[in-house]
Chains A and B, each alone.
Chain A
Amino acid sequence: MGTGSLLMLATLEGTVMAAVLALAAVGLSLTFGVMRVVNVAHGEFFMLGAVLAWAVAQAMPSAPLGFVAALLIAPALVGALAWVTDTALLKRLNYNPDSTIVATIGLSYLIQQGALSFFGPDARAVAAPFTLRLQFPGFGYSGYKLFVVAAALLVLLAVWWGLTRSRAGLVMRATQVDRNTARAFGINVDRVYAGTFALGAALAALAAVLLAPISQAHYLMGHDPLLLSFIVVIIGGLGSLRGTLLAALVIGLADGILSMLYPPTLAKILATLAVAMVLVFRPQGLFGDRT
């Protein structure tokens, strides 16, 4: 394979990585932006999405049908679990930043060990809904991976539209600015928080369902997405959707390209170094407000 083809392949891999990462990181960013909750269990919501996708796909008679069902059911179930978690746990802690970090650490272990108990320690393959292969100059490429990019883009556009154009988005943004004043204008802040936490978790789960046919579903798979999501959210600026998307693109592409050309650990080292630089020189992130 020539250098041009290799670079193009690496860029495509990076774009797929960026798409999945953007979905997961936007979920984390929303949760922090609106609720000021650092959700350490975000990676486990991601993992649960993949594991549930496998379980749902197993229960269906055909691969395409199983995948479509997983795409709908897994994020909905994870979102519902997040809603219950918010109401039963985070709300009782009055969304105290320190307490919620500790609580979500505990939650992450519960989810992880729950997945281990119910689904076992083995990595599970989820069949892709189709097996189209596209021919590029010098290499063939999975059509499903390009579908992942398109699907993630579509969902991100929907999230952006929802936040900036819909009534629910307006209510979320108002709550993000000042929850007490939001209450004084009839906004049910508890419901906004529960909905935001559920949406954030569902986005992570959706990213995992899309990724499951490419990697595999496994009860320990939540670590990397959590770390990368935090890296993206910190670089992009906490609570900034625009910054999160841009950072996801940069980190995803860098991770994809560097992982193809060098040992994958190098990509993680560089991403972590980028976070350190941002924290030193621009602590609010590239697009975050200085507060």
Chain B
Amino acid sequence: MLQIEGLTAGYGAVTVLREVNLIAEPGRVTCVMGRNGAGKTTLLRSIMGQTTRLSGGIFLNRTPLHNLPAHEVPGHGIGYVPQGRRLFGPLTVAENLQIGLMTRSKSAATLERVLTLFPRLRERLNQQAGTLSGGEQQMLALARALCLEPSVLLLDEPTEGLQPSMIQLIRDSVTSLKAEGVAIILVEQRVEAVLSIADTIAFMAQGQIVETLPAQGIGPEPFQRHIGI
């Protein structure tokens, strides 16, 4: 279980997150929603150790992560799919996946499992990642994170700019990971993409979690109030 307790963090002298509390439990999807600039991406980057922490903490199964250098965080089983995919574009698909495997010294069996989930990537192993289509790039970004065999997966707008069939594929993958017991924090803007897979919805505004609600039975009113949809 990943616990964020009273986290205040930002970039250098600029504070973005203020006293954020959030829990991601195994086998559950916690969706973080909010307007642009609310601090959603900063929250995920803070979990990955890529911001300046001012106070509070981040714990994985009670082990503090917040004092670790950024490169040691993924070794604890935190997979990250950043906004905009952030693939290593000039590297091949195989090399991108190899980077993921190296993170926690995973073997060819893990790679095989990931390629079974995304068979289209198997056909493109020697292709430069930057030349893939948008949907394939998103598959690769997710596959690269899954090469860590993560216990916690952070997804930052994974359906952004994708066609409906690809969105469905990403949604199916998340559902399958959830069933395997992976704790998922999903930053998403599309309400319809969230409702079918989320267990909890946390609304952010101005760097704070302002309301957390169970996804089941949630009506349109919280979405209208917090994100104007």
Which residues of A line the B interface, CB within 8 A? 167, 170-171, 173-174, 177-178, 180-189
Contacts and interface: CB of A to CB of B under 8 A. Distances in A.
A186 B71 contact: yes
A183 B90 contact: no
Interface stretch (B52-60, B94-102, B170-178, B208-216): B94-102
Given A180-B50, A183-B48, 16 more contacts: A170-B95, A170-B102, A174-B88, A174-B95, A174-B99, A178-B86, A180-B86, A182-B99, A183-B49, A183-B71, A184-B70, A184-B73, A185-B74, A186-B75, A187-B71, A189-B71
Contacts of A170: 91, 95, 98-99, 102
Interface in B83-128: 86-91, 95, 98-100, 102-104
Interface residues of B, number: 27
B90 A184 contact: no
B180 interface: no
10 contacts: A167-B102, A170-B99, A173-B88, A178-B86, A178-B88, A180-B50, A181-B88, A183-B49, A184-B82, A188-B69
B13 to A, nearest CB: 14
Among the interface residues A174, A178, A181, which one has the most CB atoms of the partner chain B within 10 A?
A: A181
A188 B88 contact: no
Contact of B90 (A173, A181, A182, A187): A173
B92 to A, nearest CB: 10
A184 B50 contact: yes
A177 B82 contact: no
Given A170-B95, A173-B91, A181 B82 contact: yes
Contacts of B104: 186
Nearest to A173: B91
A271 to B, nearest CB: 29
Contacts of B50: 180, 183-184
A183 B70 contact: yes
